[in-house]
Amino acid sequence: MLPHPALALLASAAIVVALIPLVYLAVRVAGAGWQRIVDEIFTARTAVLAGRSIGLAAVVTLACVVLGVGSAFLVTRTDLPGRRVFGVLAALPLAIPTYVAGFAWVSTVDNFAGFWDAALVLVLCSYPYVYLPTAAALTGADPAQEEVARSLGDGPWRAFMRTTLRQIRPAVVAGGLLVALYVLSDFGAVSIVRVDVFTRAIFTSINLGFDKTGALVLATVLVALTAAVLVGEVLTRQRGARYARLSGAGRPPARIGLGRLRWPAAGLIAAVAALALGVPAMSLLRWVAAGVSRPGSLAEVAVAAGNTLWVSALGALLTLLLALPVGLLLARAPGPLATVVDRLAYLPHALPGLVIGLSLVSFGTTVAFALYQTVWLLVLAYSTLFLPLAVGAVGAAAAQAPPALEEVAKSLGRGPMYVLRTITLRLTAPGLGAGAALVFLTCVKELPATLLLRPTNMDTLATELWTHTSFGAYAAAAPYALLLVLVAAVPTWWLSTRTGVSTRARLPITTGVAAGVPVEASAGTDLSTTAGIASAEIASAGMVTPGTSTGAGTRG
Amino acid sequence: MRLSRSLALTLGSLLLASFGLAACGSEDEPGDKRLTVYSGRSENLVGPILQEFQEESGITVEVRYGDTAAMAAQLLEEGDRSPADVFLAQDAGALGAVSKAGLFADLPDDVLQKVPAAYRANNGHWVGVTGRSRVLVYNPDLVPESELPASVFELTEEKWRGKVGIAPTNASFQAFITAIRVDHGDDRAREFLSGLVANEAQVRDNNVLIVRDVADGKLAVGLVNHYYVFGQAKEAGVPVEEYGAKLHFFKDGDTGALVNVSGVGILNKAASDPDARALVEFLLGTRAQTYFAEQTFEYPVVSGVPTAPGLPELAALEVPDIDLNDLDTLQETIQMITDAGLA
């Protein structure tokens, strides 16, 4: 007997969106014939590409985890000077698209190319994916466990390493997974910094020969790699682990005194921020100063900005709508169906935007012609691309909201829609907000799918930026780049403030155990993603509703 | 909750309305004074001239800009359901690919006659609009004129080790390699490519980066198209004579002197559309050709239009004897380029 059958049905329907690119790949690749597939896949070159892509993903993920956890720890658990400022600065690189950062580095440093240079750019742009949820988790983690460890004789550092790190494991793994998939799919940085990985080979294949088949066969290999990463991630989970607060009032954890290391630590974080933010900023300013070309009129820039905001907002809305049943299913009815549906949302995430774009062109011209080259198909593309970000956010936020309240409401005679509207949505609202912010800012940066699917004559900041740089008119491109970063910086700043770093008030959290639904609910919820745990913590950070407490007496 | 119900109703009706609007497709009918153009050439380059066409003829032109290869891929994916009437491409290869897929209509004879046979399709599916010559861009401080190579094949020699910039993912480079295959055979092309790799040729993502690096002195020479130098000089705000990179045209019919074309073709659905024909004729007319000569610094293909100052005349270029139609055997070229490890 399937629990929550309506929810399961809705969630499966929503996942159909994620399946569009996969179906497209399957159809096109099948049309290529077995011989072509074998020729394309089983070559030395493919092996080299796969090795390099995985290698890049591994290196960047590792570095991001170190950097993300390190900054989160310094900002939330030590007496770092200026930690509120650093708390925000550490998250801001998320607002910079990798193609802008790549350009900036290539034009600043001579001979900037190859594997390690690309890894540097990718690390600097994606470590916030680990930083944000880790910081939220650290602020929200139960200090009681650490205190127990201290009372049993561990020093502050040892307590951190052995206890706290384990508490924040789901957040770190979730962030790491997102980084890994992001690196597999990224095209902007690797093409500008010129390292030969899968996405670049796919793009070159389409570019060099107008022949999609070879490119799509490679894209299928990329999907296989993604599946492998996802399976690997599932295997790293510990069964039955509990991460929720056990009992007692929430209170701020003790901050570790850094002593002599205060200023060197601050210097370190400042250096990272300078590299991640300063180099692109300086580069953009230099372009404006050095070039003659100027962007079109202010009206043109304003229209592009307006289009970006409109399309990204719609993208965030649709993605969240689609993610809602999936996330709720994960939280309320974890099980094999929920896991499969959740993982399916991830599979297209590592595909480059170009492939997703082409798959939707195909979908648009064959199935949904009325939507072709309208904003709606573009918005659908965004949902396909960014569904995992939202699913995690919804799932974790829903896991945080105790089902007991919903059950009480139903027992008092309210219908399911009423319960959804007044209780579930209200409780998960902050988490949903964080998910929406994350999807919004990622939509703002998106380029290849936008180029293929936008309505003719509609320009966004990203496409205008691309137009000008492809002709070498860097000075004209710079204002668009700056505006793009600024627009993306707003939700990023909001996300970073929600981690609780900058608020004095302390954070209540989860009632997971008390509600009988552990935060690490069997297969699904926990490690879903970044914004997943992030937004759960972020949600609780700002949330002071009485509803979060249950019989365990956790403070609301 | 009265507020949320009305909100939901509003949102719902908005959504329905926009679906409705979207469903009223904007199909261009022949002669309705509306055109949809897919342009692989960037807005900076062709936007102004298309705008002029719109004003002069009263035909509304909706242009979709993109990378030529991505546009061609999109056209091929869209097939007969493509909203495009006209495809403006950066190079003959893209036009050839679309033509091969059977998506182009035959152009009328009088249009074809305006362009020399070397710069249009044999099957009458597309015509060239501007000429783009392959050149060697060089930094005069690093390479005195007397040391410039006479043939492009000299670039695999020791004295050019690590000094040559190429952009192997660029369509023009690919067309150039195909020209070598056509002119000298597959083996020679393979030899040239592996020679470049062995000679540590510096790879860049596009031609603009090569020209900028040459001007900055980071590269000594580069293989690009002729007009980039003018464009970059304009961007830097200096006259082209003072710009840090200069042009060297190969002579004596060397393959390095290949002149490729950007061109235009009419899609099947617009075969009988007078608006599409008007656009093609406009692009081949004096006004547009002069624009391309003066603003984008390319070679007009139509006779009687002078080229930009500082540029040798098209007729004076000693081009290799290659039929551009033969340049559409792309697959083998790509294989060679990837096998050599360049892309």
pLDDT value of residue A546: 27
| Residue A68 clears pLDDT 70, i.e. is over it | yes
Nearest residue in chain B measured CA to CA from A450: B66
The answer to whether domain A17-250+263-548 has CATH 1.10.3720.10 is yes
**Which range has the worst mean pLDDT, A156-165, A274-283, A378-387?**
A156-165
Q: Rounded mean pLDDT of B185-197? A: 91
Strand pairing report for B221-225 and B126-138: antiparallel
| Residue A487 clears pLDDT 60, i.e. is over it | yes
| Residue B173 clears pLDDT 60, i.e. is over it | yes
| Residue A554 clears pLDDT 70, i.e. is over it | no
3-class SS of residue A108: helix
Q: Using a pLDDT cut of 70, give the percent of chain B over it.
A: 89
Q: Which of B5, B16, B43 to mutate against chain A (most A CBs within 10 Å)? A: B43
Measured in whole angstroms, the distance separating CA B309 from the mean position of its chain's CA atoms is: 22
**Which range has the worst mean pLDDT, A300-314, B4-18, B270-284?**
B4-18
pLDDT in tens, A469-480: 776 677 778 888
Instruction: Name the range with the highest mean pLDDT among A54-58, A105-109, A418-422.
Output: A54-58
Confidence bin at A504 (pLDDT 50/70/90): very low
Distance CA A65, CA B25 (A): 49
Alpha helices in B89-142 (DSSP H): 92-100, 109-112
| Residue B44 clears pLDDT 70, i.e. is over it | yes
Distance CA A408, CA A419 (A): 10
Strand pairing report for B86-89 and B259-266: antiparallel
| Residue B97 clears pLDDT 90, i.e. is over it | no
Confidence bin at B4 (pLDDT 50/70/90): low
Q: Rounded mean pLDDT of A316-338? A: 87
| Residue A349 clears pLDDT 60, i.e. is over it | yes
Q: What is the mean pLDDT of chain B?
A: 84
Residue A44 contacts B where some CB pair is shorter than 8 Å: no
Distance CA A368, CA A17 (A): 13
pLDDT value of residue A499: 64
User: Closest by alpha carbon to A207, among B135, B324, B121, B206?
Assistant: B206
Confidence bin at A210 (pLDDT 50/70/90): low
Establish how many alpha carbons lie within 13 A of residue A55's alpha carbon, considering only the half-sphere containing its beta carbon.
13
**Which range has the worst mean pLDDT, A80-94, A347-361, A508-522?**
A508-522
Q: Which amino acid type is present at position B339? A: D
Structural class in CATH, domain B132-258+328-339: alpha beta
| Residue A134 clears pLDDT 50, i.e. is over it | yes
Q: What is the mean pLDDT of chain A?
A: 78
The answer to whether the CB atoms of A472 and B174 lie below 8 A apart is no
Beta bridge partners of B223: B136
Contact of A131 with A139, CB cutoff 8 Å: no
More confident residue, A528 or B219: B219
Q: Using a pLDDT cut of 70, give the percent of chain A over it.
A: 84
The answer to whether the CB atoms of B169 and A204 lie below 8 A apart is yes
pLDDT value of residue A278: 92
Task: Indicate the residue of B42, B81, B94 with minimum beta-carbon distance to A369.
Answer: B81
Instruction: Name the range with the highest mean pLDDT among A201-210, A412-421, A526-535, B329-338.
Output: A412-421
3-class SS of residue B128: strand
Q: Rounded mean pLDDT of A442-450? A: 89
Residue A472 contacts B where some CB pair is shorter than 8 Å: yes
| Residue A63 clears pLDDT 90, i.e. is over it | yes
Q: From start to end of A17-57, where are the E strands?
A: none
Report the predicted TM-score, pTM, of the whole model to 2 decimal places.
0.78
Domain with CATH 3.40.190.10 in chain B: 28-131+260-311, 132-258+328-339
pLDDT value of residue A196: 83
Confidence bin at A511 (pLDDT 50/70/90): very low
The answer to whether the CB atoms of B42 and A471 lie below 8 A apart is yes
Q: Which of B77, B234, B297 to mutate against chain A (most A CBs within 10 Å)? A: B77
Q: How far is A65 from chain B (nearest CA, A)?
A: 31
Query: In terms of CATH, what superfamily is B28-131+260-311?
Result: Periplasmic binding protein-like II (3.40.190.10)
**Tokens 């974080």 — which residue?**
A269
Which residues of chain A make contact with B298, given a CB cutoff of 8 A? none
Task: Indicate the residue of B83, B171, B237 with minimum beta-carbon distance to A292.
Answer: B237
Confidence bin at A429 (pLDDT 50/70/90): confident
The answer to whether the CB atoms of A208 and B69 lie below 8 A apart is yes
**Which range has the worst mean pLDDT, A542-551, B79-88, B297-306?**
A542-551
Domain ranges of chain A: 17-250+263-548
| Residue B126 clears pLDDT 80, i.e. is over it | yes
